[in-house]
A and B are shown apart, each in its own frame.
Chain A
Amino acid sequence: MDGGLLFFFQLLVSGVAVGCLYALVALGFVLILKATDILNFAQGEVIMISAFICYFLVTTLHLPFLVAVLITCAAAGLMGILTERLVLRPMLGEPVFAVVMVTIGLSIFLRSMTGILFGHNNLVFPSPFPKETVKMGGIILSQTQIWIMISTLALIIAFFLFFKYSRMGLAMRGTADDQNVAQLMGISVKRVFAMIWAVSFVSAAVAGIFLANVMVINLGLSFVAVSAFPAIILGGLESIPGAIIGGLAIGIIENLAGGYLDQIIGGGVKDVTPFVVLFLILMVRPYGLFGKKEIERV
């Protein structure tokens, strides 16, 4: 392969790795959105807090990585249930604006509390993955990137099976479809909501742990969730496959734009590209690739 093409493929593949993380984050958003019609702006803080918890477990308590991951996921799930019970349930039936603002309030509250508890320093996660890079047909990948792709794939398959075959997954799909009917069928909608928040937070926690391996851990980690907004919009707000494809697409676009445009405009293109894309999607096709076009009835 010649240099130019190789450069393109290198950007493409590392874009997929970033996109996988976006997909996980987007998945967390979409799960809540689909079932409860709430866009949780505090998702980024969950990512960040999970990264901090995992760091704390591994460095201070010297737990093995896998155990730390499991405990972090459990903590995130518990946090999800608590959030739903204490913050969101009193807001049932309130206008969209109020609910959005409650989650924004929650997000800045959590972020500053994390700052107070864990400090503002940049922490470096002791990576459990070997440092050696893997070379495949000229494309260089780090082991972390490969693990990110594998785990995301595994999680997505697990989610798919959960929604398809488990009783709770079926209840969740039913609730997302029509809350009243689900209630009539004997599904406890309250419990389903709490479980959905838990599942969504766990998905965010996994993304957080991997992000901690790729980036430094600091309060800025929560910003990743904001970069995942374009992914959910691109996928169409309420579609789970859409979130995954949207996440991958945004990762790839961001990396390609960063790779090619940074030399022309100057640094930082990577960080704004998702937002420019978001703005464009909203202008052209607000309901995304897989979302249903909203028809308003009066």
Chain B
Amino acid sequence: MTQDENDIILLAHGSGGKLSHELVENRFLPFLSNPVLAKLDDSAVFEVGGRIAFTTDSYVVNPLFFPGGDIGKLAVCGTVNDLSMSGAVPLYMSLALIIEEGLPMKELEQVLQSIKATADETGTQIITGDTKVVSHGQADKLFINTAGIGIVPDDINVSGAGARIGDKIILSGTIGDHGIAIMSLREGLKFSVPVESDCQPLNKLVQQMLEVSSTIRCLRDPTRGGLATTLNEIATQSQKGIFINEAAVPVKEAVRAACELLGLDPLYIANEGKLVAVVESSEADKILASMKRNLCGKDAAIIGEITAEHAGKTIMKTRLGSSRMLDMLSGDLLPRIC
């Protein structure tokens, strides 16, 4: 066995003893160090002012590395995006790892490197963390939890309840990329045009949108459950109706093909770098144009509007011109039989 192959996480790395300290000092700090974290006190102590947004999320993706990202990038983007959807500027994050013994050190380092790169890109800092190691079979390689803190500027009030009749609904780009990237990898499906996860931070796109308009009522990132579930959440929260046009929803050709093959609907597939915005109708074109200037929003499109009819429900005009309800995702996404 090469030295590299022996360089793996052992239960002792989680014991709190010497190996644990070595792990933090030699593997974590070189990637993540900043003045607050480097103190290695029991808590991070820092100052913030104003209205605080606070969120947490856990990441258990399998496999750890996938086209377009990895669990580390996902763990930073997920939390940064949740903060951004409240209109907050993300500042600080915590990072907790649950590692299954036997994880190659090299893979851990790759994940840490990715966390560092993504945190830098978003302008956030990891200021506190924790590591646990569990025995073989008690976790699947690596689970991550992050929590994040951001500041919401005084004049920003973004909430699902804020949608008003006549508002337009903007989607920032193609749907289903992340879910299909993961599923094709897991199931060994290969496409002539490979599908990459859309995993990306949206904080800069959001800040840009908030700068051009003060009429952004609601922001949401359609992650698990997909676009359909997110639209239903907005309809329920605002007690308004939502009407969308299926033909206006951007979907990549390869994603559509994979969905056809697996019997899935892109409207229910997870995204990790897209947002839905509900905005004042008269400002919609201006906001859309500004989104399209950002790489994260280049495929943005107006997909529908808020209606007085069908309060709390989402209605979709199909490609054939008929209309039907668009429900939340129910249960797991499963492939069809024949």
A pairs with B: no
Chain A positions within 8 Å of B, measured between CB atoms, are none
